[in-house]
Chains A and B, each alone.
Chain A
Amino acid sequence: MLQAFIDWTIGTGLGTTIHNTTWAFPIGETLHFLGLSLLIGTVSLFDLRLLGVLKRLPYAPLYRLLSRWGVAGFVINLLTGIMFWFYQPDFYALDQALPFGLKLLFILLAGINVLVFYKTVYPEVMALGPEEEAPPLAKAIAGTSLFLWFGVLFFGRMIMYT
């Protein structure tokens, strides 16, 4: 089934187009790094606030920064990531299957972690004053978030080196 998806990807010819657009891949990589910086930076600030490591900053505005700019970073990376997939699907899916698979798994887990956040402590956190501490579940979610997103970054970087 994976091979069918790889074959379909190659069959679209988009990979050839990207290959023939001289600076597409390096520009894509640069944008991928900028996107990850936006995501890691905003996620880290919000998570550190939840953990109580950063104090006295109001929660809701930090959250808004993350939900706009952090998500923008994620979207940039999703789009450039899709471009990379079309460029060399067998490299990621077969050759570098371990780090690529772990990276995708950690992204999925991070997404689930976000959903858990929304379904549980989100309203309570948004109502907190800037001097207040977040509830323990929020801290657990924040710690998990940091672990998962830095994991995404780690496995992503291992992709060329496996």
Chain B
Amino acid sequence: MDIVAWIKDTGLHTWLAESVGWFPYPTTLALHSAGMGIVVGMSLAVNLRLLGVAPELPLAPLRKIFPFIWLGFWVNAISGVGLTFTDPDKLLNWMIWIKFAFLALALVSLRIIQSRVFGNPHAEEPLSEPSKALAVASIVFWVGVITAGRLSAYLGFS
């Protein structure tokens, strides 16, 4: 892959790959974990609510959670680029592409939930079956992202 070679030539790659101590690479990794905690954790909380957990939580104010979820996403997008620059050979790992596929599905489902359920100012209970199915799908996708991400350390090498 040309992009792998291109990345390896950059100063950013050298700086990250030659990390000694906790900065910059391990800290980038820690930021990625923190972003994951926010994105997946808060998404799980919203999805659990859609599935009927903590029903006393009114739906409308939960819209305010989404800016935090998207902030976590951007922290991970940026730290993810940093991680790719550290070890661009990861792009040759098919398990990472499974992670990206789950990520795309998770983001699409998140966006649909945000506009369908929370974009409607009169969002009502009981929630429709499609909304609940979306919540389940979203949970499955996020679990898929995490699992594929972790397993890419063990599998996916050609």
Contacts and interface: CB of A to CB of B under 8 A. Distances in A.
Contact of A40 (B37, B142, B154): B37
Given A44-B42, A64-B54, A157-B29, A57 B61 contact: yes
A59 B58 CA distance: 11
Contacts, number: 112
Given A36-B33, A60-B56, A62-B57, A161 B25 contact: yes
Interface string A54-89: 111110111011001100010000000000000000
B61 A56 contact: yes
A114 interface: no
Interface residues of B, number: 37
| A-side interface mostly | helix
B41 A158 contact: no
Interface in B98-140: none
A42 B58 CA distance: 16
A65 B25 contact: no
B61 A45 contact: no
Contact of B41 (A26, A41, A60, A68): A41
Size category of the A interface is: 35 or more
Interface stretch (A8-16, A27-35, A105-113, A118-126): A27-35
Given A30-B146, A36-B33, A61-B54, A130 B61 contact: yes
B151 A44 contact: no
B41 A37 contact: yes
Given A26-B154, A44-B38, A44-B41, A69 B48 contact: yes
Interface string A127-162: 000100000000000000000001001101110111
Given A29-B150, A38-B41, A161-B26, A65 B61 contact: no
A68 B57 CA distance: 15
A39 interface: yes
Contacts of B77: none
Nearest to B146: A33
Contacts of B65: 45, 54
A41 B40 contact: yes
Given A40-B41, A41-B42, 6 more contacts: A26-B150, A26-B153, A33-B33, A44-B37, A54-B61, A153-B33
14 contacts: A26-B151, A36-B41, A37-B41, A38-B41, A39-B37, A39-B41, A41-B37, A48-B68, A55-B61, A57-B58, A62-B57, A65-B49, A130-B61, A161-B22
